[in-house]
């Protein structure tokens, strides 16, 4: 159960920063935001308010699924966080991670895991696009090499999902939660790379505009 609480804490640290990191990338990529994201409330109360919220505070059409990916993460995190708090404070025994409560939480975290994978995939692609610009102009070759060596790849994200699902099907809920935690750490690392590359790209653009060598 402590793994569930730890994973809940890890997910909560991602939610406040993902929009800002993606916005940095969009700025670095000079994405056209004039027609980005037109999510609106349907008027019948059935719209996804989290998707609408994200689209209202950040616009970028370089990767047009950002509102969906970030909004889904925000929505699922709220559900997981609430359920985790209830489980942690519950007097129901957890049977060393193999009880019905652990099974239920693992199911919730499985949905969150897929949202995390999509977030990591989206972030990786934006970072990769920025790096392609560096490669085309023969800039920061060391950074490109470092990214290729140090940033988790898409295969790592997919493998974590496969392993977590396998453990869940085998009723190994502790192992499944641990694999999702490993996935969340990989996503955090990808986001860190995206932020770093975006800052460097923006700094280079400003120097170019100012004529600084």
Q: What is the pLDDT of residue 26?
A: 86
- Asked if the structure places residue 18 within a domain, the reply is yes
- Asked if the structure places residue 212 within a domain, the reply is no
Q: What is the pLDDT of residue 48?
A: 56
With 50 as the cut, is the pLDDT of residue 12 above it? yes
Among the ranges 58-62, 71-75, 77-81, 92-96, which has the highest mean pLDDT value?
A: 71-75
- Asked if the structure places residue 213 within a domain, the reply is no
Q: What is the pLDDT of residue 116?
A: 93
Residue 151's pLDDT band (boundaries 50, 70, 90)?
Answer: very high
Q: What is the pLDDT of residue 165?
A: 94
- 36 vs 161, residue with greater confidence: 161
Q: What is the pLDDT of residue 101?
A: 59
Please report, for the domain that includes residue 109, its CATH number.
Answer: 1.20.200.10
- Asked if the structure places residue 146 within a domain, the reply is yes
With 80 as the cut, is the pLDDT of residue 148 above it? yes
- Asked if the structure places residue 109 within a domain, the reply is yes
Provide the angle, in degrees to the nearest 10, between the axes of the packed helices 173-210 and 100-136.
Answer: 20
Residue 57's pLDDT band (boundaries 50, 70, 90)?
Answer: very low
* In contact, 183 and 165? CB cutoff 8 Å: no
Contacts of 209 (CB under 8 A, 6+ apart): none
DSSP reduced 3-state for 124: helix
Q: What is the pLDDT of residue 170?
A: 93
With 80 as the cut, is the pLDDT of residue 21 above it? yes
Provide the domain count of the chain: 1
With 50 as the cut, is the pLDDT of residue 14 above it? yes
- Asked if the structure places residue 94 within a domain, the reply is yes
Q: What is the pLDDT of residue 155?
A: 96
- Asked if the structure places residue 176 within a domain, the reply is yes
The pLDDT mean for the chain works out to: 76
Give me 92's structure tokens.
Answer: 């129901």
Q: Where in the sequence is the domain holding 77, given as residue range(s)?
A: 2-207
Q: What is the pLDDT of residue 194?
A: 95
* In contact, 81 and 8? CB cutoff 8 Å: yes
**Average pLDDT over every residue of 67-85:** 80
Q: CA–CA separation, 21 vs 133, rounded Å? A: 18
* In contact, 175 and 103? CB cutoff 8 Å: no
Residue 94's pLDDT band (boundaries 50, 70, 90)?
Answer: very low
- Asked if the structure places residue 193 within a domain, the reply is yes
Mean pLDDT lowest among 75-84, 96-105, 147-156, 192-201: 96-105
Please give the share of the chain, as a percent, with pLDDT higher than 90.
28
């Amino acid at each position: 159960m402590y793994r569930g609480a730890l994973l809940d804490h890890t997910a909560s640290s991602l939610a406040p920063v993902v929009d800002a990191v993606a916005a940095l990338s969009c700025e670095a990529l000079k994405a056209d935001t004039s027609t980005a994201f037109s999510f609106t409330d349907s008027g019948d109360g059935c719209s996804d308010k989290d998707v609408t919220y994200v689209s209202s505070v950040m616009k970028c059409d370089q990767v047009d699924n950002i509102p969906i990916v970030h909004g889904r993460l925000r929505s699922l995190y709220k559900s997981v966080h609430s359920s985790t708090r209830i489980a942690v404070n519950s007097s129901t025994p957890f049977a060393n991670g193999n009880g019905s409560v652990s099974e239920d939480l693992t199911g919730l975290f499985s949905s969150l895991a897929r949202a995390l994978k999509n977030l990591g995939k989206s972030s990786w692609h934006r970072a990769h696009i920025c790096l392609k610009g560096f490669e085309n102009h023969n800039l920061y070759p060391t950074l490109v090499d470092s990214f290729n060596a140090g940033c988790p790849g898409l295969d790592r994200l997919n493998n974590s999902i496969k392993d977590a699902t396998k453990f869940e099907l085998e009723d190994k809920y502790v192992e499944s939660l641990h694999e999702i935690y490993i996935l969340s750490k990989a996503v955090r690392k990808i986001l860190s790379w995206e932020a770093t590359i975006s800052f460097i790209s923006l700094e280079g653009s400003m120097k170019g505009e100012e004529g600084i060598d």
